[in-house]
A = this chain, B = another copy of it.
Amino acid sequence: MAASNERIREVIDEYVRLVATGTADEIVALYADGATVEDPVGSDVLTTAEEIRAFYGGLEGLDTETRLVTARIAGGQAAFHFELVTKAGDATYTVTPIDVMAFDDDGKITSMRAFWSGDDMVIS
């Protein structure tokens, strides 16, 4: 049976929280075996846990805050809009992607595709 909307919402909340404050290992633990990551959409699809861990490892140590803007869940899948605000020196970089995720029956993420581009980044 597909993961419930409630379970999927929990995983999204956890994902958004961990992107700001978690380790790459904690984020990878949200993913199912064999999961794929395409971030941003149009880039090479990451297909191994090692690649996914390396991808999120790039976020570790950054001074980042995140906030879920809105989530829509349907058919065991989800699309959600969230905000990442990263401070580096005197600059603040804000991106607000729309991520699309599929989940297995346990609520593990089986695919993630992030819609955003450098044009969407706001630097202040």
Interface residues of A (CB under 8 A from B): 5, 40-43, 70, 72-81, 96-98, 100, 114-117, 119-120
Shortest CB distance A71–B (Å): 8
Q: A98 touching B72 by the CB < 8 A rule?
A: yes
Interface pair B75/A70, CB less than 8 Å apart: no
Number of this chain's copies in the complex:
2
Known: A72-B117, A74-B114, A79-B115. 14 other contacts (CB 8 A): A5-B119, A40-B75, A41-B77, A42-B74, A70-B81, A70-B96, A72-B115, A72-B116, A72-B120, A73-B117, A74-B115, A79-B100, A81-B98, A100-B100
Q: Complex formed: what's the CA distance from A114 to B79 in Å?
A: 9
Chain B residues near A42 (CB, 8 Å)? 74-77
